Structure 1
């Protein structure tokens, strides 16, 4: 059990260091791509919500 805790702590440290290394780089085109990214994310969320509602409805009907 102690080994698992060690592995989890190690993975957390690696994840934190990796995140900090990736966020240290700046994106020069961030301002121009923000609108496109927001639109794409909104479209993905809308599609996922619709599919989730359909899946829930099918689950309720079947079971």
Structure 2
């Protein structure tokens, strides 16, 4: 169980770092919408992380 949770956290952190690294090097034409895309991606990460924590809490209460 701890291995699985650790693996999920590592994948989430790696995805977040990769996304932020890509948004740091935008194309000149793409620069205007980078902020909007970063805000959207951050919102998606927040929703997914909160859902994962909620699902984990639900799983723990059932067992």
**1:22-33 aligned within 5 A:** 29-33=29-33
- Structure with larger Rg: 1
Aligned length: 37
* CA–CA distance in structure 1, aligned partners of residues 37 and 29 of structure 2: 12
Deviations 1:4-61, CA, capped at 9 Å, x for gaps = xxxxxxxxxxxxxxxxxxxxxxx66310110000000000000001000000000000
Unaligned runs of 5+ in 2: 1-26
1:59 aligns with 2:59: yes
* TM-score (norm: length of structure 1): 0.54
* CA–CA distance in structure 2, aligned partners of residues 35 and 60 of structure 1: 37
Match of 1:46 in 2: 46
* TM-score (norm: length of structure 2): 0.54
User: What's the C-alpha RMSD, in Å, of the aligned pairs?
Assistant: 1.2
More RCO (CA 8 Å, sep 6+): 2
